[in-house]
Amino acid sequence: MRVIFEKSTPGRRGVGFPPSDVPAHAVLPPECLRATRAELPEVSELEAVRHFTRLSQRNFSVDTNFYPLGSCTMKYNPKFCEVVARLEGFSQLHPLLPQLRRGGMLTQGALGVLYETARLLCEITGMAQFTMQPLAGAHGELTGAMIIAAYHRQQGKRKTRVIIPDSAHGTNPASAAIAGYEVVVAPTGDRGVLDAQTVEELLSDEVAALMLTCPNTLGLFNSQIREIADLIHGVDGLMYYDGANLNALLGRARPGDMGFDVVHLNLHKTFGAPHGGGGPGAGPVGVVERLAPFLPTSVVEKRSDGTYSLQYDRKDSIGYVAPFYGSFGVIVRAYAYLLLLGGDCLKSVSGNAVLNANYVLARLKDHYEVAFDRRCMHEFVLSASRQARMGVKALDVAKGLLDRGIHPPTVYFPQTVPEALMIEPTETESKETLDAFVAAMIEIARLAEQDPDALHEAPTQTPVGRLDEVAAARNQDTSYTPPAPPVEQ
């Protein structure tokens, strides 16, 4: 369908403009048309190329530098996945094309990709069914929380609370609250992980679910996970697995086998799609069999003749959470990634992610305090509190890394660790890169002792330099008013 945006000029009308094949409903009404031509920049191809090349060079990215940003899994994603996503049959598809078409079957391949990716994710997580629709991890959490609410509503149970550990990713309490739950924060204290006794103390009939990241954001695996699941199930609650970051478990352990009922995954972290800068993500949600009726519409089904169709007629569904088929381009990349690697290589993803993290931890633990000195999973948390006593805070360490061409780790999170530096090297980095990072961190630790002021000025090598955080905090732009929250139904 072509839409005519510009008011046709008399001269043009004479030569068939708007073109006669444009259906009447596709021609915009006169009040929506411009009276004058838009003033668009007129540049040559060379100028356009230079502009975009320059922009790309200003970008700090995984393609150019090491990016140990804890909990974000900023790993390198194979360019193969990009090539597959750009295939014309995928990239030029319109979501309104018919599902079946004599001869062409234009969207059957795309529906097949959705179906097959969901099937592979079921295998990886031990879930019975997946929806591919949620557009990000946080969106997956909200979808999962809505599914849990719909399930308990159908059971006639009044459940108002969701238990979330204090070390959880910030989106967890936000999603539970938006879904209408009261968030009960479970302290993890100096153990770093949630224990069964704490869960037992917080347990009541009102508990709808426990949301858990395992391994958690400290990179620690929860060895009491089965006991905790039994406690939650004992009050008819459900276990929610935040699998935004599955790098530590891939091919080795499945949330479904640990007693989880709902899982979301971030395809843009673990499964071959790049992320950052607010780009598209995908947060598919998997559920156990008894929750499948509540999955959002539509669901891709495979019929006995081998064709795929979208199923909308689902009376218990929580309804639409996203238009059309979710972030289709991200899902295609994930599918390509899964097929490219296969079962054995997926296992080496988790193997190398955990090995790399432990290698860096072992080499840095004499130079920085370690929040929890034990074997870590795919990430770990250091504390710059030793450096802070000399006037060099976690923020200064982060700025110092920028001068050494390295993206800073996640800082000041989780809040349970003072001066936290959360480091996730990911599986895609070489030993040489990890050694260079270790050397930079050790050099910064030495500077903190010998010349702390040097780090207060950092970064000096970046185009902008140190931002004035005091001015940013004092002169806030208060003109923005957020939109009013939706009215309760």
Ligand X SMILES: *Cc1c(COP(=O)(O)O)cnc(C)c1O
Residue placing its CB nearer to ligand X in the complex, 152 or 378: 378
Cβ(359)–Cβ(412) below 8 Å? no
Give me the sign of the Cα torsion angle 240, 218, 468, 462: negative
φ, ψ at 196 (rounded to 5°): -60, -35
Identity of the residue, 209 or 445, whose beta carbon is nearer to ligand X in the bound complex: 209
Least separation in angstroms between residue 411's CB and ligand X is 15
Do 151 and 294 form a contact (C-beta atoms < 8 A)?
yes
| Cβ proximity of 281 and 327 under 8 Å | yes
What is the nearest approach in angstroms of ligand X to the Cβ of residue 71?
4
Which residue, 243 or 459, has its beta carbon nearer to ligand X?
A: 243
Q: At its nearest, how many Å lie between ligand X and the CB of residue 135? A: 8
Q: What is the nearest approach in angstroms of ligand X to the Cβ of residue 92? A: 27
Residue with tokens 């081998």: 306
Q: How far apart are CA 126 and CA 259, in angstroms?
A: 10
Q: Smaller CB distance to ligand X: residue 152 or 269?
A: 269
Token output for 487: 């009215």
Smallest separation, CB 106 to ligand X (Å): 30
DSSP 287: E
Burial 49-60 (b: 16+ CB within 10 A, else e): eeeeeeeeeeee
Residue 394 phi/psi, 5° resolution?
Answer: -55, -35
| Cα–chain center distance at 18 | 44
Least distance in angstroms from the C-beta of 268 to ligand X: 6
Please, what's the b/e burial string for 384-400 (b: 16 or more CB within 10 A of its CB; e: otherwise)?
bbbbbeeebbbbbbbbb
Complex with ligand X: residue 175 or 387, whichever CB lies closer: 175
Considering the complex, state which of residue 164 and residue 292 has its C-beta at the smaller distance from ligand X: 164
Long-range contacts of 114-120 (CB under 8 A, 24+ apart): 114/300, 114/308, 114/325, 114/326, 114/328, 114/331, 115/300, 115/301, 115/302, 115/308, 116/335, 117/284, 117/331, 117/334, 117/335, 117/338, 118/284, 118/300, 120/335, 120/338
Tell me the pairing of strands 380-383 and 420-423.
antiparallel
DSSP string for residues in 190-229 = GG-S--HHHHHHH--TTEEEEEE-SS-TTS---TTHHHHH
Choose between 283 and 296: whose C-beta lies nearer to ligand X: 283
What is the closest distance, in whole angstroms, from the C-beta atom of residue 244 to ligand X in the complex? 3
Residues 101, 104, 107, 112, CA torsion sign: positive
Binding site residues, ligand X, CB under 6 A: 71, 136-138, 169, 171, 213, 242, 244-245, 266, 281, 283
Reading the block at residue 390, the tokens are 């000399």
CB 466 within 8 Å of CB 458: yes
Indicate the residue among 81 and 111 with the shorter CB distance to ligand X: 81
Query: Is the Cβ of residue 253 or residue 440 nearer to ligand X in the bound state?
Result: 253
User: Toward ligand X, which CB reaches closer, 251 or 283?
Assistant: 283
| Cβ neighbourhood burial of 430 (10 Å; 0-12, 13-18, 19+) | exposed
CB of 149 to ligand X, least distance (A): 19
Q: How far is the CB of 421 from ligand X (least distance, A)?
A: 16
Which residue type sits at 188?
T
The residue whose two tokens read 């780009």 is 279
Nearest distance, CB of residue 140 and ligand X, angstroms: 8
Q: Which is nearer to ligand X, 143 or 298 (CB)?
A: 143
> What is the number of the residue whose Cβ is closest to ligand X?
137
